[in-house]
Structure 1
Amino acid sequence: MKKKTLFSTTIAVAMAATYLDAAAQTTDTTATSAPTQAATQTAPNAGLTVSGYVEAYYAHDFTAPKTTQERPGFLYNHRRNREVNINLAFVKAAYTSDRVRGNLALQVGNYAQYNYAAEQTLVQNIFEANAGVKLSKNRDLWLDAGIFSSHIGFESAISKDCWTLTRSLLAENSPYYLSGAKVTYNTPNGKWTVLGSVLNGWQRIKKLDGYSGPSLSTQVQYRPSSKLTLNWSSFLGSDRPDSLKQSRFFNNFYAIINPTGRFGMILGFDIGADRKPVVRTGSDQRVGTGSYVWYSPVVIARYKTSDRSYINGRVEYYNDSNGVIISTGTLNGFKTVGYSLGYDYAILPNALFRLEGKVYDSKDPIFSAANGLSASNTSLTTSLAISF
């Protein structure tokens, strides 16, 4: 990995709701123009605004050898082991008017280090860079282009906006960011959001070498009330060179139940399929028949213990027996159950302390241990996040 460069220019964004009021994890609460928020005829916070975010953390992997400084390779956040580090820090500029909007955010931290490892050096410190124009004077219809946070999934890179300190397995192994152009429409009653996008690929700013076609993605979100959000997002494209003819179709489903109440729950499910690669027999070749399928269900629940604190729990499973997303080289592939229990305390409205214990149990021994490999992994993570 190439070392990240520090940025010196202070840029900006609008800061909105605190963690304890966050309803969905795809919404960045340091921004004013999230795609799932309905716009008004006149932008309520028109002009240039500023904010930022810093999350420091310490993770202790009890299973890994003492000299191992990284957590398992299928994790891309809070990955450094037994050291205090920065998971994500950014400053962000946002411009909003009644018909135009734009965002620019520069980042450093382990999130950028591991998630952007395949990108060109010039863009590895870009958290977000996009421009948008409202296509209708009377309708909430926007065209945005550039680099933006992914609409796929209920979790984002901004930990304070998520119900758990660390990310779910399905979030870690699906796009956190996307690059391309998208059209978003919000209905006047605020209950429906429909999005369609043309992308450079599966979490790629630079298109994969050898892949010629664009990828497509959609989102349909329904919010019948403040107590329920239903979402379906999809991806159609490939993350392989054209020569392999491996198309990918991926679906993300989730429901967020009672997000602002004392007790809330998230139900999520990812399922994807990559067509099997080309089969070559001498000079003859044909498209592979059938598909490699992976899937992941997750249940997250949290309980508000006071005006400043929550406890949360998570149960999840990830099945990728063919190693499409997570390759293990073992007989059964990646078949892993995860459990976590966490506690969150808002020291101040913009300062959040979090603590989480997590256990992974795998079908095969895939985790580094003092005596070789282990089928289970236990860790404890704590973090302090501030927004400004």
Structure 2
Amino acid sequence: MKKLLLFIALGLTLLLAYAQANAASLTDTTAVKDTVKTKPEPFAFGDFTWLNGNDRRHKALLDTKYFTGRFLLDFNYTASNHNPVDHTVVGSTALARDHEFEISTVALGGDFHYDNVRASVLTQFGTRSTVVPRNDFSVTRGQFDLATAYRYLSEANAGYHFDVLNGINVDAGIFMSYIGLFSYYNAENWAYQPSFTSDNTPWFFNGVRIQIFVSDKLKIEPWIINGWQSYGMFNSRPGIGGQILWRPKEWLQVLSNNYYGADTQDKPGRKRFHTDNSVEVRYYKNKNTFVNSSAFSITGDLGYEKGDGVNGFKSDPVKGPEQYFASAMVYHRMVMAKGHLGWTVGGGVMNNPGRYLVLYPTGDANPIPAVGTGNIGTHPFSANPGDKFHGYDYSTTIDLMPNDYLTFRMEVVHRHADVPYFAGHGGVTSPDGYNTTPLGGTNFVPDLVNSETRFIAALLVRF
């Protein structure tokens, strides 16, 4: 299977090279006749900075002929109503430390472009360089510490642009996932703490993508990747998937992401399928009123695992318990005061029998071997097939935006689970909250609670 996929990728590359050579020949001939028609750039016909999960800048400041620079800084302060003694946030990839000032992300790099050659490199420092790789268990397979090797790179890929159709890009490396609508970079999102749908789905992929721009309004993008947010590969075959992105009008976006792979350690017969679908609509726009625009996004995800002890959407006494993921989220955003003020309300629900995509608690509640140590918490959060998890969340967010490059954000979010999950006042580390305190003889039990209300303040910079 792996060899077949590699042959397919190689064949596509050769075919595109041949098509481009013919296209270039035709272009040269046509140029002599002064009848060359330039095809429109993909999605350049409208202003899509209003979208949730999309860059809101109208132009890049650090732009040259061969290099477009990027710099992002995500600084936050968050406070839970439980005030955990170990200052630890449970169940989030956007946050790590409670009641502290925190640098979540510092990213520096950019995009290289010369003729048809392209490359992107973006570093990743801050707490996210630990929080996100922690959720990739493929790094425990084999040697050479993939979590350390890759953790300081959020994007690192290169490829070639073929002048076919409205453009075809073939890129290889680490690139951002689109599953769950929210962007990995909070400066591009309407809210800071993503709903369960986004926070429990991938932020990155490692492999090959082929972006086929059928027209300036439609993109079809196949993926051949190591797996579901995994630096390495869990079993003997890569994951496959792709995105269909359609923007027929400036005020409308429709997208579908789909994935198929085998992503469970020592379970090659367990297959995963996931579909993620979103619609975003801007239904009001007027620059001459206090409210400049209003828009909403609707996202629905459905996935399952089947085989090797689990049975998808239906429990079976022989094949195993049900193991699926069903979630949805809805957000509404208004932009006011000539684009300087934003207000977002929204939230979502998730049902996950089997907990196979749940972000596991840390510390003494950790149910999986910690990367680099092999340790499991003495009171692990249960993560067995058939263990159910249902959650919901809602939030309200205020953005102050002096310009396209700076956002001051304030947010209140409430999250709830039907099982004890979030960090209570006692925390998840030790009686006094320090991981140097021995647990032996203390009778310490991680303090997990069913819900939390959290205040978030953030400064977001993107150049």
Q: Deviations over 1:25-44 (max 9, x none)?
A: 454568999xxxxxxxxxx9
Q: Which residue of 1 aligns with 2:349?
A: 317
Task: Name the aligned partner's letter for residue 257 of structure 1.
Answer: V
Q: How far 1:239 sits from its partner (Å)?
A: 1.3
Instruction: Say if 1:367 and 1:376, in contact at 8 Å, map to a contact too.
Output: yes
Q: Helix, strand or coil for the counterpart of 2:124?
A: strand
Instruction: Say if 1:76 and 1:110, in contact at 8 Å, map to a contact too.
Output: no
Q: Tell me the distance in 2 between the aligned counterparts of 1:139 and 1:311.
A: 36
Q: Tell me the distance in 1 between the aligned counterparts of 2:64 and 2:454.
A: 42
Pick closer, same or farther for the CA change 1:122–1:368 going to 2, 3 Å.
closer
Q: Deviations over 1:92-120 (max 9, x none)?
A: 13112341210111110122211123443
Q: Tell me the distance in 2 between the aligned counterparts of 1:82 and 1:259.
A: 38
**Count of residue pairs brought into register by the alignment:** 348
Instruction: Say if 2:55 and 2:187, in contact at 8 Å, map to a contact too.
Output: no
Q: Which residue of 2 aligns with 1:364?
A: 419
Q: Deviations over 1:291-345 (max 9, x none)?
A: 5111110000011232201111112101112211126539963211101011000
Larger strand proportion of the pair: 1
Task: Name the aligned partner's letter for residue 136 of structure 1.
Answer: D
Q: Which residue of 1 aligns with 2:26?
A: none
Task: Name the aligned partner's letter for residue 342 of structure 2.
Answer: Y
Task: Name the aligned partner's letter for residue 84 of structure 1.
Answer: F
Q: How far 1:232 sits from its partner (Å)?
A: 0.6
Q: How far 1:21 sits from its partner (Å)?
A: 6.6
Larger helix proportion of the pair: 2
Q: Deviations over 1:238-286 (max 9, x none)?
A: 211354511000010001111884111010011110114249xxxxxxx
Task: Name the aligned partner's letter for residue 410 of structure 2.
Answer: L
Q: Tell me the distance in 2 between the aligned counterparts of 1:260 and 1:216.
A: 38
Given candidates 217, 221, 225, the residue that maps to 1:195 is 221
Matched, 1:375 2:393: no
Q: Tell me the distance in 2 between the aligned counterparts of 1:260 and 1:21.
A: 14
Q: How far 1:170 sits from its partner (Å)?
A: 1.3
Instruction: Say if 2:333 and 2:342, in contact at 8 Å, map to a contact too.
Output: yes
Percent identity reads: 20
Q: Tell me the distance in 1 between the aligned counterparts of 2:307 and 2:424.
A: 33
Q: Which residue of 1 aligns with 2:382?
A: 329
Matched, 1:101 2:118: yes
Q: How far 1:135 sits from its partner (Å)?
A: 2.8
Q: Helix, strand or coil for the counterpart of 1:108?
A: coil
Q: How far 1:365 sits from its partner (Å)?
A: 3.1
Matched, 1:69 2:87: yes
Q: Within 5 Å, give how 1:154-173 maps onto structure 2.
A: 154-173=181-200
Q: Which residue of 1 aligns with 2:202?
A: 175
Matched, 1:140 2:140: no
Q: Which residue of 1 aligns with 2:23?
A: none
Instruction: Say if 1:276 and 1:292, in contact at 8 Å, map to a contact too.
Output: no
Q: Within 5 Å, give how 1:215-294 maps onto structure 2.
A: 215-258=239-282, 261=285, 262-278=293-309, 288=319, 291-294=322-325
Q: Which residue of 1 aligns with 2:10?
A: none
Given candidates 405, 408, 411, the residue that maps to 1:353 is 408
Instruction: Say if 2:355 and 2:387, in contact at 8 Å, map to a contact too.
Output: no
Instruction: Say if 1:48 and 1:95, in contact at 8 Å, map to a contact too.
Output: yes
Q: How far 1:193 sits from its partner (Å)?
A: 0.8
Instruction: Say if 1:46 and 1:98, in contact at 8 Å, map to a contact too.
Output: no
Q: Tell me the distance in 1 between the aligned counterparts of 2:168 and 2:404.
A: 33
Q: Helix, strand or coil for the counterpart of 1:207?
A: coil
Q: Which residue of 1 aligns with 2:236?
A: 212
Task: Note the residue ranges of structure 1 that are not aligned, 5 or more in a row.
Answer: 1-16, 34-43, 280-286
Pick closer, same or farther for the CA change 1:260–1:127 going to 2, 3 Å.
farther
Q: Helix, strand or coil for the counterpart of 1:132?
A: strand
Q: Which residue of 1 aligns with 2:100?
A: 83
Pick closer, same or farther for the CA change 1:97–1:151 going to 2, 3 Å.
farther
Structure possessing the higher radius of gyration over alpha carbons: 2
Q: Which residue of 1 aligns with 2:72?
A: 53
Task: Name the aligned partner's letter for residue 414 of structure 2.
Answer: V
Matched, 1:186 2:205: no
Q: Deviations over 1:135-192 (max 9, x none)?
A: 335641111111111132311121010011222211111110101011111133x211
Q: Which moved more, 1:269-278 or 1:368-377?
A: 368-377
**TM-score, L = length of structure 1:** 0.82
Q: How far 1:55 sits from its partner (Å)?
A: 1.0
Pick closer, same or farther for the CA change 1:158–1:317 going to 2, 3 Å.
same
Instruction: Say if 1:332 and 1:364, in contact at 8 Å, map to a contact too.
Output: no
Task: Name the aligned partner's letter for residue 345 of structure 1.
Answer: L
Q: Which moved more, 1:344-353 or 1:231-240?
A: 344-353
Q: Helix, strand or coil for the counterpart of 1:187?
A: strand
Q: Which residue of 1 aligns with 2:462?
A: 387
Instruction: Say if 2:48 and 2:250, in contact at 8 Å, map to a contact too.
Output: no
**TM-score, L = length of structure 2:** 0.70
Q: Deviations over 1:68-113 (max 9, x none)?
A: 31111x3111221110011111101311234121011111012221
Q: Tell me the distance in 1 between the aligned counterparts of 2:452 and 2:327.
A: 19
Pick closer, same or farther for the CA change 1:259–1:198 going to 2, 3 Å.
farther
Instruction: Say if 2:244 and 2:257, in contact at 8 Å, map to a contact too.
Output: yes
Q: Tell me the distance in 2 between the aligned counterparts of 1:348 and 1:32.
A: 12
